Amino acid sequence: MNPAKRSLLLLAALALPAWADRLPIPADAPPAFQTECGGCHLPFPPALLTAPDWKRVMGKLDKHYGDNASLDEKTRRELEDFLVRNASTRSRMAGEGDPPRLTASAWFRREHRKVPQALWRDARVNSASNCSACHSRAGQGSYRGREIALPELRDKH
Ligand code: HEC
Ligand code: HEC
């Protein structure tokens, strides 16, 4: 293998862990993303669903997982464009459900395979979508193992 190709491969390998534990909100996020999509829960990283998934989420905000998250059409469109622009193209990021859940993707289930089932319903957690219950710096887009908040999970990975 020539040196240029080898250093490229090395770079790709180094980039992987960084991708897995850092999911910052993309810089092109309109201010409405934080205010309108971060009021009831964490503003979820757009890279955790695919473009068709985000279109389905944004196409029925009045029936939003049992809640009503309706927006005026201009804001709705602006946020949909942002989410679609930054969506994942990987099939393992495809959500499931109607509207689709990112906590049901093959990727999410694999990353969380070591979390005991009972813990998802623990009073401190309540729902898999409650990222910050376990990831103490989820609000800053950081998901490193050493930042896990629940003591019983901290030494399991
Ligand atoms: C009025 C409150 C409210 C607002 C505003 C809101 N959501 Fe939600 N959202 C919810 C609730 C409630 C759930 C379900 C939580 C659960 O079951 O764990 C949810 C779940 C989700 C999920 C699925 C999470 C999972 O379980 O995988 C996505 C994706 C999502 N919201 C995206 C958005 C986006 C994008 C916006 C902004 C356009 C938004 N939400 C605004 C209340 C809201
Ligand atoms: C019940 C606790 C819990 C909840 C809730 C939870 N996670 Fe996790 N998550 C973990 C644990 C524990 C790990 C580490 C798994 C391992 O390394 O074996 C993990 C791993 C991850 C990783 C991989 C980190 C790395 O170092 O590669 C990401 C990214 C992640 N979670 C994102 C999320 C997101 C986004 C949410 C919310 C939608 C969420 N998690 C909800 C417990 C949780």
Q: From first to last of the 157 residues of the chain, give the pLDDT tens digit.
A: 677 766 666 655 554 444 679 999 999 999 999 999 999 999 999 999 999 999 999 999 999 999 999 999 999 999 999 999 999 999 999 999 999 999 999 999 999 999 999 999 999 999 999 999 999 999 999 999 999 988 888 765 5
**pTM of this structure:** 0.90
CB 132 within 8 A of CB 42: yes
| 105 Cβ closer than 6 Å to some ligand 1 atom | no
Q: Report the nearest atom of ligand 1 relative to the CA of 39.
A: 5
Give the separation between CA 29 and CA 35, rounded to whole angstroms. Answer: 11
Q: What is the structure's pLDDT at 150?
A: 87
Q: What is the structure's pLDDT at 103?
A: 98
| 75 Cβ closer than 6 Å to some ligand 1 atom | no
Residues in the chain: 157
How far does residue 157's CA lie from ligand 2's centre (Å)? 11
How far does residue 69's CA lie from ligand 1's centre (Å)? 8
Q: What is the structure's pLDDT at 20?
A: 75
Q: Which residues of 93-115 are buried (b: 16+ CB within 10 A; e: fewer)?
A: bbbeeebbbbbebebbeeeeeeb
Q: Any idea which ligand is nearest the CA of 75? A: 1
Residue at 49: amino acid letter: L
At a CB cut-off of 8 Å and minimum separation 6, what does 143 contact?
20, 21, 22, 23, 131, 135, 137
> For a pocket test of ligand 1, which of 23, 37, 83 has the largest count of ligand atoms closer than 8 A to its C-beta?
37
